Amino acid sequence: MATGNINVSVENIFPLIKKFLYSDHEIFLRELISNATDATLKLKHLTSIGEAGVEYGNPTIEVRIDKEKKQLIISDKGIGMTREEVEKYINQVAFSGAEEFLEKYKDSAKDSGIIGHFGLGFYSAFMVANKVEIITKSYKDEPAAHWVCEGTTEFTLEEADKKTHGTDIILHINEDDKEFLEEHRIEQLLVKYNKFMPIPIKFGTKEETIELPEDAPEDAKPETKTVDNIINNTNPAWTKQPTELENKDYNEFYRELYPMQFEEPLFHIHLNVDYPFNLTGILYFPKMGQDMNIQKDKIQLYQNQVYVTDNVEGIVPEFLTMLRGVIDSPDIPLNVSRSYLQADGAVKKISSYITRKVADKLKSLFNNNREDFEKKWNDIKIVIEYGMLSEDKFFEKAQAFALYPTVDNKYYTFEEFTEKIKDNQTDKDGNKVILYASNEDAQHSYIEAATEKGYEVLLLDSPIVSHLLQKLESTEEKISFVRVDSDHVDNLIKKDEEKISKLTDEEKEKLKADFEKVIPAEKYSIQLEAMDSNAAPLIITQPEFMRRMKEMQQTGGGMFGMGNMPEMYNLVVNTNHELISEILNSKTAKKQERLIKQSLDLAKLSQNLLKGEELTAFIKRSFEMVK
Ligand SMILES: Nc1ncnc2c1ncn2[C@@H]1O[C@H](COP(=O)(O)OP(=O)(O)OP(=O)(O)O)[C@@H](O)[C@H]1O
HEC string of 403-464 equals: CEEECCCCEECHHHHHHHHCCCCECCCCCEEEEEECCCCCCHHHHHHHHHCCCCEEECCCCC
Instruction: Indicate if ligand 1 lies below 6 Å from the C-beta of 94.
Output: yes
Eight-class DSSP state of 52: -
Please report the sign of the dihedral spanned by the C-alpha atoms of residue 185, residue 188, residue 189, residue 190.
positive
Query: Are the CB atoms for 269 and 238 separated by under 8 Å?
Result: no
- pLDDT above 50: residue 112: no
Give me the helices (H) in 203-327, please: 247-257
Q: By alpha-carbon position, which residue is closest to atom 20 of ligand 1?
A: 121
Q: Is the CB of 119 under 6 A from ligand 1?
A: yes
CA distance 234 to 251: 18
89 ligand 1 Cβ < 6 A: yes
Ligand 1, atom 30: closest residue by C-alpha: 89
pLDDT at 294: 61
Instruction: Return the ligand 1 atom nearest residue 166 CA.
Output: 3
Task: Find the largest Cα–Cα distance for the chain.
Answer: 119
pLDDT tens readout for residues 464-508 = 888 999 999 999 889 999 999 888 888 888 887 777 888 899 999
The pLDDT value given to residue 19:
57
Q: Select from 6, 35, 155, 193 the residue to mutate for testing ligand 1; criterion: most ligand atoms less than 8 Å from CB.
A: 35
Least-confidence region, from 213-227, 238-252, 390-404: 213-227
Query: Is any ligand 1 atom within 6 A of the Cβ of residue 39?
Result: yes
Are 515 and 526 within 8 A, CB to CB? Answer: yes
The segment with the largest mean pLDDT, out of 269-273, 311-315, 547-551, is: 269-273
Q: What is the pLDDT of residue 296?
A: 67
Q: How far is the CA of 46 from the centre of ligand 1 (A)?
A: 17
Residue nearest to atom 4 of ligand 1 (CA): 80
Which of 268-272, 356-360, 460-464 has the weakest average pLDDT? 460-464
- 188 by DSSP, 3-state: which? helix
Provide, rounded to the nearest whole percent, the portion of the chain with pLDDT above 90. Answer: 55
Contacts of 487 (CB under 8 A, 6+ apart): 541, 543, 544, 570, 572
Ligand 1 centroid–CA 34 distance in Å is 8
Task: Assess whether pLDDT exceeds 80 at residue 210.
Answer: yes
Query: Which of 44-48, 105-109, 520-524 has the lowest average pLDDT?
Result: 105-109
Ligand 1 atom nearest residue 101's Cα: 25
Is the confidence at residue 512, as pLDDT, over 80? Answer: yes
- The yes-or-no verdict on residue 103 having pLDDT over 70 is no
**Average pLDDT over every residue of 101-126:** 57
Predicted TM-score of the model (pTM):
0.80
Residue 420: pLDDT over 50: yes
User: How far does residue 599's CA lie from ligand 1's centre (Å)?
Assistant: 83
Is the distance from the beta carbon of residue 301 to the nearest atom of ligand 1 less than 6 Å?
A: no
Does the beta carbon of 576 sit less than 6 angstroms from any atom of ligand 1?
Answer: no
DSSP string, 318-350: GGGGGSEEEEE-TTS--SSBHHHHHH-HHHHHH
Sequence-distant (6+) residues with CB within 8 A of 413 are 399, 400, 401, 402, 403, 404
pLDDT for position 23: 55
Q: Of the candidates 498, 494, 506, which has an alpha carbon nearest to the alpha carbon of residue 530?
A: 498
Task: Give 406 Cα–ligand 1 centroid separation in angstroms.
Answer: 61
pLDDT of 534 > 90? The answer is no
Least confident span in 97-106, 122-131, 217-226, 580-589:
97-106
- 35 C-beta closer than 6 A to ligand 1: yes
Residue 229 has a CB neighbour count (10 Å cut-off) of 16
Write out pLDDT tens, residues 59-86. 999 999 999 999 999 999 999 999 999 9
Query: Atom 11 (ligand 1): residue with closest C-alpha?
Result: 89
pLDDT of residue 212: 81
CA of residue 122 to ligand 1 center, whole Å = 6
| 625 — pLDDT class (breaks 50, 70, 90) | confident
Taking CA atoms only, the protein residue closest to ligand 1 atom 12 is: 89
Q: How far is the CA of 118 from the centre of ligand 1 (A)?
A: 14
CA 586 to mean position of chain CA atoms: 62
Better-scored residue on pLDDT, 338 or 373: 373
Average confidence score pLDDT of the chain = 87
Split at pLDDT 50, 70, 90, the class of 238 is very high
Condensed to tens digits (0 to 9), the pLDDT of residues 364-414 reads: 999 999 999 999 999 899 899 999 999 999 999 999 999 999 999 999 999
| Burial class for 5, CB neighbours closer than 10 Å (0-12, 13-18, 19+) | exposed
Q: What percent of the chain has pLDDT over 70?
A: 88
| Alpha-carbon gap, residue 412 to 418, rounded angstroms | 9
pLDDT at 93 over 80: no
> 510-544: b or e for each residue (b if 16 or more CB lie within 10 Å)?
ebeebbeeebeeeebebebbbbeeebbbbbbbbbb
DSSP-derived 3-state class of residue 549: helix
Task: Give distance in angstroms: CA of 35 to centre of ligand 1.
Answer: 5
User: Are 421 and 434 contacting, i.e. CB atoms less than 8 angstroms apart?
Assistant: yes
31 Cβ closer than 6 Å to some ligand 1 atom: yes
pLDDT at 109 over 90: no
Collapsed DSSP state (helix, strand, coil) of residue 70: coil
Whole-number pLDDT of residue 113: 36
pLDDT at position 111, please?
Answer: 42
